[in-house]
């Protein structure tokens, strides 16, 4: 989880640097606002893509764990049924 925080920090730093660079550049106001808007859209798209990748990886991990739990439950049920059968034959 810390790598995600580092990535978010790096993205925030890059965004802040780009914003400051555009603000201090000698250009007309409307052009500066246009560039800020464009950069903001680019960063938002990149962040959305990273978040989607993160969600995909979490979903994959969840499916793996769910499958492992299902396999474990199935094995436990099989062992339990075998133990009950052994107990019946031993007492019967």
Is residue 35 within 8 A of residue 26, CB to CB? The reply is no
Integer Cα distance of 14 and 60 in angstroms: 30
- Quote the pLDDT of residue 64: 92
pLDDT tens digit sequence for 17-74: 877 877 777 778 788 788 888 888 888 898 889 888 888 888 999 999 999 998 888 8
What pTM was computed for the model?
A: 0.48
- Quote the pLDDT of residue 7: 79
Domain boundaries, the chain: 2-91
Distances (CA, A) of 77 to 73, 83, 87: 6, 10, 15
- Quote the pLDDT of residue 92: 59
Q: What angle do CA 10, 43, 20 make, to 5 degrees?
A: 70
Integer Cα distance of 59 and 61 in angstroms: 5
- Quote the pLDDT of residue 26: 77
């Amino acid at each position: 989880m810390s790598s995600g925080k580092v990535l978010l920090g790096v993205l925030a730093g890059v965004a802040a640097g780009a914003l400051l660079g555009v603000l201090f550049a000698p250009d007309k106001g409307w052009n500066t606002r246009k560039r800020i808007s464009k950069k903001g859209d680019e960063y938002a798209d990149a962040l959305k893509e990273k978040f989607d990748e993160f969600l995909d990886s979490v979903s994959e991990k969840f499916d793996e764990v769910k499958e492992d739990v299902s396999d474990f439950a199935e094995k436990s049920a099989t062992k339990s049924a075998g133990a009950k059968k052994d107990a019946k034959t031993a007492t019967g």
